[in-house]
Amino acid sequence: MSSSPLSKKRRVSGSETNTGSHCSSANSVRTELSHTPANGMAKNGNEAEIDEGLYSRQLYVLGHEAMKRMQCSNVLISGMRGLGVEIAKNWRDLSSQFYLREEDLGKNRAETTQPRLAELNSYVPVAAYTGVLSEDYLAQFQVVVLTNSSLEEQLRIGDLCHSKGIKLIIAETRGLFGQLFCDFGEEMLVFDSNGEQPLSAMISMITKDSAGVVTCLDEARHGFESGDYVTFTEVQGMTELNGCQPLEIKVLGPYTFSICDTSSFTDYVRGGIVSQVKMPKRISFKNLSGSMADPEFLVTDFAKFDRPGQLHVGFQALHNFEKKHSRLPKPWSQADADEVLALTRTVNDGLSGSAKLEQLDEGLLKKLSFLSAGDLAPVNALIGGVAAQEVMKACTGKFMPIMQWLYYDALECLSEDEGVTLTEEECAPRNCRYDGQIAVFGSKMQELLGKQRYFLVGAGAIGCELLKNFAMIGLASAEGGEIIVTDMDTIEKSNLNRQFLFRPCDVTKMKSETAAAAVKQMNPAVRITGHQNRVGPDTERIYDDDFFEGLHGVANALDNVDARMYMDRRCVYYRKPLLESGTLGTKGNVQVVIPFLTESYSSSQDPPEKSIPICTLKNFPNAIEHTLQWARDEFEGLFKQPAENGMQYLTDPKFMERTLKLPGAQPLEVLEAVYKSLVTDCPKSWEDCVAWARNHWQCQYSNNIRQLLHNFPPEQLTSSGAPFWSGPKRCPHALEFDTNNELHMDYVVAAANLYAQTYGLEGSTDRAGVVRILESVKVPVFTPKSGVKIHVSDQELQSANSSVDDSRLEELKTLLPSSDNLSRFKLCAIEFEKDDDSNFHMDFIVAASNLRAENYDIPPADRHKSKLIAGKIIPAIATTTAAVVGLVCLELFKIVQGHTKLESFKNGFMNLALPFFAFSEPIAAPKHKYYEKEWTLWDRFEVKGLQSSGEEMTLKQFLDYFKNEHKLEITMLSQGVSMLYSFFMPQAKLKERLDLPMTEIVTKVSKKKLGKHVKALVFELCCNDDTDEDVEVPYVRYTIR
């Protein structure tokens, strides 16, 4: 809690909308990060340490410096309606304020909300304030956020904040409309405008010129832009550039750019790395009154380019209406809309400069009036998420702020029929929690929402936000409605900073059950069921035909492409709408998939991630990413795969047969590893584990490097006379082991403990004890050998892999002990887990990677960066999640109403760091044709397997059916990975299959029985038309029950 007492000067009913100069101040929440809570962020000097367990995913978005600046922030959020609490939560009366419950009606919003906000994060003291927003009170804050405030209040506080250097954000939502304004003062320093990792490239040439030209190695484009600043390291020859002050560049091509005058510098010899430098940028803001007269807009939708100017004047007219009548216009009231239009004309007539409009969009402004009393959770989520990100920018100087106005509308959510206008009666308040939504869509839509059955896949960050929005809009809150949420994960500490339905006491509980219970508290009427199942072929008995056919739609909240593509295929097959979304740091996207209208998620795919060549990893790393991937491979190859293979050898009689069938050198590699783990390297004690770790250290960081330098000495030349160790090949040096070197000891302690775990032995963290053991470890003397082949390229490696040492393979088969002799022997394979700091996993990765980096003179990475790269962590932040989910739920409104026009739907992309928004129509499902028949991915052939006689169709009848009914000759027929029929099939096999029922052929070929839950099979066809031309045709749904 904040140290300041709660002020009770003035109370306002949380269920009323009051006007006047203090309306917003009566519901204010203040958040501070300048205090240390009782559970203690330990302080270094006067600076609190950051809890990396809690904030790890957010740290990868903001960085340590920005997080430290946020720690010292003091923020006021005025107005605790849906939008205000959305902003506070990221950093709603019952229709959108998710921290108010029915028993809270009549209480002050701020005081009721404060304890529920405070429990989100014990590191953030939250205090409620219900007094006047006076100059003295405001002076203590770095940032003030106004929501639900009058224009007079905004202008008064705007002038005050601007003059005192307090950063101001104004956020408003009015039904399907949103407004955001930022004023961060006369001069603000932005330290990092986009949040991207600084780029770097290797240099192949630098010219001596009045504007020296730098040429990069042509392995990859440099990615720089003109105006970027760069600095240099490791340049040989032109050493004046090493460690120079940042230089501005001009891009000449994808591999070249020019820098400063290099004509007086020493001649360039070779090598060098050029690195981008983020330069602070100074920006200036107008105050609110100045910006109202001469606005600068951030366009959110280029299809609505002229709307910001219209809404800028319209919002002012709404304020004037509210001031005059002490209320907002009534929902869908024609009389009030006409008055708002007249007020807009008056406002516009009084304007001068760029804000003045030549012509008013009367239809748009009337809709603003119709909807202004509405309060929608998804719009609050979007505007609240964006506003919360602006608060972070104001506190930290990280990312580019909104300059200065953002206006948003989602009018596509209204009826597609332009002529349809709702009546005042349909949208009048019902004295229920959904009144803010009924004001926009009417009561019939509310009934439709209540009856929806939706499947939510995933209860992580996006899943939690979706569930909160579902509860607020009343999805599945009536008879017949249901939300089924499935997630097989348990809650971890690192989830808590963005998966806001979870609290510290929930750690280790199941996500889906906990989220379902939390949502029931927000809206007890929601009918929700939590499952703990992974979606995939293994759970098709649960999520079967009956399950999918009973759904209205699916929402994905997944974190991997494979699961997304699987759910996409299921939705296409069952013809269900799919709401797809994802985030990556400040970037977010939304895709809506509508049956028979749009393409599916799988229709377009991102290019595959670029993999690191094996030879680069094994012998020629040049970046920390290479050494970290090598360390991850080491982890798998030392502590997981040998134990797995060893246990399979001992328990699976067919292991040897399967292994010998593996391609290339794999059989030898696997059996060598099994022999080592069961015989030569099998430890009997902790001392043996320490000795193994010490010898493995010697092998990897000294012996192998010495062998590499024996094969390719530092002065080696290539066949063309160029230095071998140049460009991407960095010349390594061997390390000497030293018990006084902390990194060396980190490696031995972590490796020995992990090795002990795989054999079920007791480990130790006593470093002094480990040093004593090391004193008696004998390390064999190593002499580099001649005739050892080291592959320089992956092509060389592949051709070498085709030859196998058969004599060694036979020898290993006789040397391996029989599984009977080791029946009680147990090996435990270790699964890599990055988030447990006590398990030695990251200790090993960091030490292994940084030792190898030292071998090759690559700058090391700290634990935080190592975890990001080696753990393949996806950076995440609550602000982006909230904004993205807001957009998802706006698309849900359209689906529930049954929108059918492609232009009604919006796929969205955002990057809150830039800030940038882009919306587009979904891509229509591509059309194909055979004969004169058009079809898309949503079409299929429906074939009933059971005939009127009660017998099932045979393969011959199936082929004849397509020939007679569709004039198509099937040339190939498959089901999954099983080939059922092909024109080149041997005659004997064909004759045998032609008279068999289709299901019998499927079970015979796939060697799997068909489950009782399977009602239909999917067949893929290759066909020729009657001119013998190959034609593309839809798949077949073959019903068997």
The rounded distance, in Å, linking the Cα atoms of 955 and 681 is 57
Question: Is-above-0.85 flag for pTM?
Answer: yes
The rounded distance, in Å, linking the Cα atoms of 904 and 100 is 33
Q: What is the pLDDT of residues 381-411, one digit of tens each?
A: 999 999 999 999 999 999 999 999 999 999 9
Question: 24-28, 177-181, 347-351, 998-1002 — which is least confidently predicted?
Answer: 24-28
The rounded distance, in Å, linking the Cα atoms of 65 and 190 is 13
Q: Are 154 and 21 in contact (CB under 8 A)?
A: no
Q: What is the pLDDT of residues 873-931, one digit of tens each?
A: 888 899 999 999 999 999 999 999 999 999 999 999 999 999 999 999 999 999 999 99
Tell me what the mean pLDDT of segment 353-357 comes to.
92
Residue 954, SS3 per DSSP: strand
Q: Considering 72, 244, 260, 615, which one is annotated as catalytic?
A: 615
The rounded distance, in Å, linking the Cα atoms of 452 and 482 is 7
Give the C-alpha distances (Å, rounded to integers) separating 474 from 13, 98, 468, 471, 482: 24, 12, 10, 5, 11
Residue 615 known to be catalytic: yes
Question: 198-207, 324-333, 578-587, 813-822 — which is least confidently predicted?
Answer: 813-822
Q: What is the pLDDT of residues 590-600, one digit of tens each?
A: 999 999 999 99
The rounded distance, in Å, linking the Cα atoms of 244 and 325 is 65
- For 933, phi then psi, to 5°, come to -95, 120
Residue 55 has pLDDT above 70, yes or no: yes
Question: 114-128, 166-180, 506-520, 791-805 — which is least confidently predicted?
Answer: 791-805
The rounded distance, in Å, linking the Cα atoms of 534 and 454 is 17
Higher pLDDT among residues 18 and 610, named by residue:
610
Residue 792 has pLDDT above 50, yes or no: yes
Tokens of 109: 């919003």
Q: What is the pLDDT of residues 923-977, one digit of tens each?
A: 999 999 999 999 999 999 999 998 888 899 999 999 999 999 999 999 999 999 9
Tell me what the mean pLDDT of segment 448-467 comes to.
96
Tell me what the mean pLDDT of segment 976-1004 comes to.
94
pLDDT tier for residue 31 given thresholds of 50, 70 and 90: low
Q: What is the pLDDT of residues 729-742, one digit of tens each?
A: 999 999 999 999 99
pLDDT tier for residue 823 given thresholds of 50, 70 and 90: low
The pLDDT value recorded for residue 1022 is: 96
Question: 107-116, 171-180, 861-870 — which is least confidently predicted?
Answer: 107-116
Strand residues in 196-249 grouped as ranges (E): 200-206, 213-216, 229-233, 247-248
Q: Are 847 and 745 in contact (CB under 8 A)?
A: no
DSSP codes joined into one string, 259-309: -S--TTSPPP-B--EEEEEPPPEEE----HHHHHHS--EE-S-GGGTTHHH
The rounded distance, in Å, linking the Cα atoms of 632 and 650 is 26
Tell me what the mean pLDDT of segment 168-181 comes to.
97
Tell me what the mean pLDDT of segment 660-672 comes to.
86
Residue 95, SS3 per DSSP: coil
The pLDDT value recorded for residue 708 is: 96
The pLDDT value recorded for residue 78 is: 87
Sequence-separated (6 or more) residues with CB below 8 Å from residue 752: 686, 689, 690, 692, 693, 763, 770
The pLDDT value recorded for residue 64 is: 85
Residue 147 has pLDDT above 50, yes or no: yes
Tell me what the mean pLDDT of segment 803-826 comes to.
77
Residue 302 has pLDDT above 80, yes or no: yes
- For 1038, phi then psi, to 5°, come to -105, 105
DSSP codes joined into one string, 694-713: HHHHHIIIIIHHHHHHHHS-
Q: Are 510 and 518 in contact (CB under 8 A)?
A: no
The pLDDT value recorded for residue 32 is: 61
Give the C-alpha distances (Å, rounded to integers) separating 322 from 319, 405, 533, 986: 5, 21, 51, 83
Amino acid found at 252? L
| Cβ count near 927 (within 10 Å) | 10
Burial level of 89, CB count in 10 A (0-12/13-18/19+)?
buried
The pLDDT value recorded for residue 418 is: 78
- For 248, phi then psi, to 5°, come to -75, 140
Sequence-separated (6 or more) residues with CB below 8 Å from residue 872: none
